[in-house]
């Protein structure tokens, strides 16, 4: 382990420099960590008193980079006060929780930390069309590898290969072919939104519909019904945007559906997909039952949480319970991010949280109405934010969601910059690290 100390230190210093200058590397590292977690099923860890996960190391570096950008690179003015207050409430709950509940508070806080610091970091950048294109390209590339993993596992489970026992054992449910978890499936769902949005906005390069259909088939086969809903309704939300014609949206949905049927027809004809289709039908039937099964159990849990919250002291109602103390007497998460927020940051934090989301949505919408130059990314991130809000009904947050939220917050408050201005900002950020005490007279390039 000692032999790895120097390489890890060198890599960490370079990563902090790279992340502080531009965000593309951070996007790649977050998504690659998610890909590694998906491949190994059981999350790889390093035992150092506590279990340290891959995302822990990535987000510690992102945290340092975010602090450098905010307090030393002059990006403080671009940080949303609402998001800053929400973060203060989270850290207050952590510090009190560490005192009362020990390391359990840190474990409970982990996902909130990934999400909050990720959004803080990504909102500290201004984005050009070229930089957004590059990040979108890497997102789709890495998620395409995840897509290959999904298809490999679907085939392996269909053929009853021994390796399938690895992910079947990891899934506590009784639904077959659910070969990755909901958070990983949501990455594919967001990829569908990214691909599909390009068919709706004029003057953008249209991706292959075959690739889009392959993503859609995988998400349907995975049977995470919440991901179905979050993806579909986010795409349908585009019909409310000024830049999208409802007829164009409908025609592309129909064409995509027809292409999917054509691609699947040989598999359907020879009966290879009967088992998967049977499980999909069973999942869809369960989705309509709101009193029994998984959804019914979640509703019962939510009612218990509301009863617990209403009986809590006023301060707990206002700013939440400390981290690490369980959720209304239950050890498991509430399977609803609103209730999770209510118990951790109280009514005040929950109100601030959704006010922040609604503010972003409204600003993106009006940006689309007023900005005739580039409506694509404002429309895309409007759809992605809608998908997050819907996903939070049955689930919590994940490390990758901070990427989307942070970029959306930046686009809501700043116009997309030109390529030259973006390059000047990268150069200016790089020069910050060269502006040592021995070089005080070094002047940064202004733009």
Answer yes or no: are the C-beta atoms of 199 and 238 closer than 8 Å.
no
Instruction: Tell me phi and psi for residue 245, to 5 degrees.
Output: -90, 125
Distance, CA of 266 to CA of 83 (rounded, Å): 50
User: Among 84, 20, 65, 111, which residue's Cα sits nearest to residue 399?
Assistant: 111
Distance, CA of 53 to CA of 217 (rounded, Å): 31
DSSP H stretches of helix in 270-396: 274-287, 293-310, 314-319, 337-370, 376-391
DSSP 228-280: HHHHHHHHHGGGGSTT--HHHHHHHHHHHHHHHHHHHHHHHHTTTTHHHHHHH
Measured N-to-C along each axis, helices 209-222 and 274-287 cross at an angle, to the nearest 10 degrees, of 70
pTM of the model: 0.90
DSSP 31-70: HHHHHHHHHHSSPPEEEESEEEEHHHHHHHHHHHHHHHHH
Tokens representing 146 are: 């995840």
Distance, CA of 163 to CA of 169 (rounded, Å): 11
Q: What is the pLDDT along the chain (447 residues), one digit of tens a residue?
A: 566 678 888 889 999 999 999 999 999 999 999 999 999 887 878 777 678 899 999 999 999 999 999 999 989 999 999 999 999 999 999 999 999 999 899 999 999 999 999 999 999 999 999 999 999 999 999 999 999 999 999 989 888 899 888 888 777 666 778 899 999 999 999 999 999 998 887 766 788 888 999 999 999 888 888 999 999 999 999 988 887 888 888 888 888 888 877 877 776 655 655 666 666 666 655 655 556 667 777 888 888 889 999 999 999 999 999 999 888 877 677 889 999 999 999 999 999 999 999 999 999 999 888 865 578 899 999 999 999 999 999 999 999 999 999 999 999 998 888 777 777 778 777 777 766 444 444 343 333
Give whole-number Cα distances, 220 to 72, 189, 223, 225, in Å: 46, 10, 6, 8
Radius of gyration from C-alpha coordinates of the chain? 23
pLDDT score, position 290: 58
> Exposed, middle or buried, 40 (CB in 10 Å: 0-12/13-18/19+)?
exposed
Answer yes or no: are the C-beta atoms of 397 and 115 closer than 8 Å.
yes
pLDDT score, position 441: 43
SS3 (DSSP) at 326: coil
pLDDT score, position 435: 66
Distance, CA of 242 to CA of 366 (rounded, Å): 9
Answer yes or no: are the C-beta atoms of 62 and 19 closer than 8 Å.
yes
């Amino acid at each position: 382990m000692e032999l790895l100390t120097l390489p890890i230190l060198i890599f960490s210093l370079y990563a902090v420099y790279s992340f502080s200058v531009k965000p593309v590397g951070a996007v790649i590292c977050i998504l690659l960590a998610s890909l590694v977690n998906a491949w190994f099923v059981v999350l790889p860890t390093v035992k150092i008193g506590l279990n340290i996960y891959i995302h822990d190391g990535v987000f510690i570096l992102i945290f340092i980079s975010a602090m450098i950008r905010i307090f030393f690179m002059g990006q403080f003015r671009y940080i949303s006060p609402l998001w800053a207050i929400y973060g203060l409430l989270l850290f207050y709950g952590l510090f009190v929780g560490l005192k009362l509940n020990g390391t359990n508070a840190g474990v409970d806080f982990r996902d909130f930390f990934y999400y909050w610091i990720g959004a803080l970091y990504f909102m500290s950048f201004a984005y050009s069309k070229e930089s957004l294109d590059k990040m979108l390209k890497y997102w789709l590339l890495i998620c395409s590898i995840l897509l290959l993993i999904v298809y490999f596992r679907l085939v392996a489970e269909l053929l009853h290969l021994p390796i399938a026992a690895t992910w079947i054992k990891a899934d506590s449910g009784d639904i077959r072919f659910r070969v990755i978890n909901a958070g990983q499936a949501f990455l594919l769902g967001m990829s569908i939104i990214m691909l599909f949005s390009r068919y709706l906005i004029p003057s953008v390069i249209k991706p292959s519909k075959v690739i889009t259909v392959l993503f859609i088939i995988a998400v349907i086969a995975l049977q995470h019904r919440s991901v179905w809903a979050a993806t579909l309704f986010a795409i349908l939300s585009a019909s409310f945007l000024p830049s999208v014609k409802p007829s164009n949206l409908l025609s592309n949905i129909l064409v995509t559906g027809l292409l999917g049927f054509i691609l699947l027809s040989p598999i359907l004809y020879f009966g290879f997909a009967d088992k998967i289709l049977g499980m999909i039908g069973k999942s869809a039937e369960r989705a309509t039952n709101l009193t029994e099964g998984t959804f019914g159990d979640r509703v019962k849990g939510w009612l218990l949480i509301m009863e617990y919250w209403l009986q809590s002291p006023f301060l707990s109602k206002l700013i939440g319970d400390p981290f690490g103390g369980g959720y209304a007497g239950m050890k498991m998460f509430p399977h609803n991010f609103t209730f999770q927020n209510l118990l951790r940051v109280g009514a005040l934090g929950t109100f601030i949280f959704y006010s922040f989301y609604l503010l972003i949505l409204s600003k993106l919408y009006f940006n689309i109405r007023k900005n005739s130059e580039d409506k694509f990314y404002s429309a895309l991130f409007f759809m992605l934010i809608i998908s997050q809000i819907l996903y939070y009904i049955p689930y919590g947050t994940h490390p990758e969601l901070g990427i989307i939220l942070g970029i959306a917050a930046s686009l809501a408050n700043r116009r997309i910059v030109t390529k030259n201005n973006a390059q000047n900002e990268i150069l200016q950020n790089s020069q910050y690290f060269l502006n040592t005490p021995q070089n005080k007279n070094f002047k940064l390039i202004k733009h």
